[in-house]
Structure 1
């Protein structure tokens, strides 16, 4: 992922906080088998210390590819919006001459995948994930030898993704003048489509932290 200096994460705390705010859905990318394209799987995930936990259906095509090469990438993208050209036109120029762009946050993990097939270990993984996704605990106990989950466990496999590297990108025009960034954030709030409000919040937050960009 190409990252301009002004788009880089301020520090590890920034991207970790963003993930912790509920950005827990991403894409697992696995090297394809010889002569085949990469396998990309959209899925929820949960955090396990510095690592990630995933479970997928046993028929998923990803397993054979992971068996050949356990080095994978997991990418999470959010708070994105299309920015029309007129919003980015420099002061004193025609609005139609402005260059459009995309705003977004992306966190990309490089990982080494370990497949989990042991029934007890899979049950433990699912308990950890349910503790994250169903905080109210409104689900049956997950045990390898008890219904309802016990009979379904053979149909899934777990993945422990050992994170070996992280890059994060917060692309919100931080190299532009303060007045420009504040104006675009206002436009996003006014338009209010899709993730416009979330993108505006990220831009304003970065504006408060970064201020005028200094190389």
Structure 2
């Protein structure tokens, strides 16, 4: 994605936090006609350590969805995660020669896909996802019985997405310090996404308490 240097968040821990807080992703690859094919789905991010470590995304799609066939034929794909985002009014600036913009947090992962197709492996994948989203459901899943479980497992295809490249963009008007105090005040009193952006501004020290750069405009 387009990445001005002031918005480039290079700490992988920040990207991992965003992916875990906003797991509903867009998985993008190419179909048999060479066009982008997109599936919107939850993905669980796992940071492996030690030998063979790295960032891995886990997920699955319905078997009738041809996306798994495209991943099988062309394993290289992109997964994107969108964090909080909101409009920014030019009224936050002390001068009038400004225009509106949109602030947002996003992560893009280039991945190599490996399908998870046999029943025991898919069951392990589902238990991983259950443990992430609703641990209490694990007992209900076990109580459904093997016949029902196998029927459900036959209806999905799982995949492991090994992250080979990562971009994390945090666009919070970092280069316009004169706007930070008013921007933070507006966001802190706004919608859920706006309040989330205000928290990120606090985390990054962009609340207006920082001294403006000399000659900043």
TM > 0.5 between the two? yes
- 2:197 is matched with which residue? 199
1:151 is paired with a residue whose SS is helix
2:69 is paired with a residue whose SS is helix
- 1:122 is matched with which residue? 122
Q: Which runs of 4+ in 1 moved over 4 A?
A: 211-214
What is the aligned-residue RMSD (CA, Å)? Answer: 2.4
Offset at residue 137 of structure 1 (A): 4.6
Structure 1: runs of 5+ lacking an equivalent: none
- Cα distance in 1 for residues equivalent to 2:146 and 2:212: 58
2:59 is paired with a residue whose SS is strand
Offset at residue 185 of structure 1 (A): 1.2
CA gap 1:105/1:44 in 2 versus in 1, 3 angstroms: same
- 2:146 is matched with which residue? 146
Q: For each residue in 1:81-128, what CA deviation from the matched residue of structure 2 results, as whole angstroms up to 9, or x when unmatched?
A: 0112222x3x2x33xx42111111101111001111111111111111
- 2:52 is matched with which residue? none
Establish whether residue 64 from structure 1 lines up as the match of residue 65 from structure 2.
Answer: no
For the 8 Å contact 1:174–1:207, the answer to whether it is kept is no
- 1:47 is matched with which residue? 45
Offset at residue 213 of structure 1 (A): 8.3
For the 8 Å contact 2:19–2:45, the answer to whether it is kept is no
Offset at residue 140 of structure 1 (A): 2.6
- Cα distance in 1 for residues equivalent to 2:100 and 2:85: 14
- 1:173 is matched with which residue? 173
For the 8 Å contact 1:27–1:76, the answer to whether it is kept is yes
Structure 2: runs of 5+ lacking an equivalent: 49-54
Of the structure 1 ranges 5-14 and 48-57, higher mean CA displacement relative to structure 2 is found in 5-14
CA gap 1:213/1:128 in 2 versus in 1, 3 angstroms: farther
Q: For each residue in 1:65-84, what CA deviation from the matched residue of structure 2 results, as whole angstroms up to 9, or x when unmatched?
A: 22321100000001100112
